[in-house]
Homo-oligomer: A and B are copies of this chain.
Amino acid sequence: MTPPAPKTRIQKRNRERILEAALEVFSTHGFRGATLDQIAQAAGLSKPNVLYYFSSKDAIHVALLGGLMETWLAPLRALDPAGDPVEELVSYVLLKLDMARNFPRESRLFANEIVQGAPRIEDQIKGPLRTLVDEKAGLIAEWAQSGRIADVNPHHLIFSIWATTQHYADFDAQVQGILGPSKGRHFEDAAAFLTAFYRRALSPD
Interface residues of A (CB under 8 A from B): 28-33, 108, 111-112, 114-118, 122, 125-126, 129-130, 133-134, 150-153, 155-157, 159-160, 162-164, 166-168, 170-171, 173-175, 177-179, 189-190, 192-194, 196-198, 200-201
The interface residues of chain B lying within 8 Å CB-to-CB of A171 are: 111, 114-115, 162-163
Kindly list 16 other residue pairs between chains A and B, CB separation below 8 angstroms, not including A111-B111, A115-B170, A152-B193.
Answer: A30-B30, A30-B115, A33-B116, A108-B115, A112-B116, A114-B170, A115-B171, A118-B173, A153-B189, A155-B179, A156-B190, A156-B193, A157-B197, A159-B190, A162-B167, A197-B201
The quantity of this chain's copies bound in the complex is 2
| Contact A117-B153, Cβ < 8 Å, known A32-B32, A160-B193 | no
Cβ contacts A to B, 30 pairs, < 8 Å: A28-B116, A30-B32, A30-B33, A30-B112, A111-B111, A111-B115, A111-B171, A112-B112, A114-B171, A115-B115, A118-B174, A118-B177, A126-B178, A129-B174, A133-B178, A134-B178, A150-B200, A155-B178, A155-B179, A156-B190, A156-B193, A157-B193, A159-B164, A159-B190, A160-B167, A160-B194, A160-B197, A163-B163, A163-B166, A164-B164
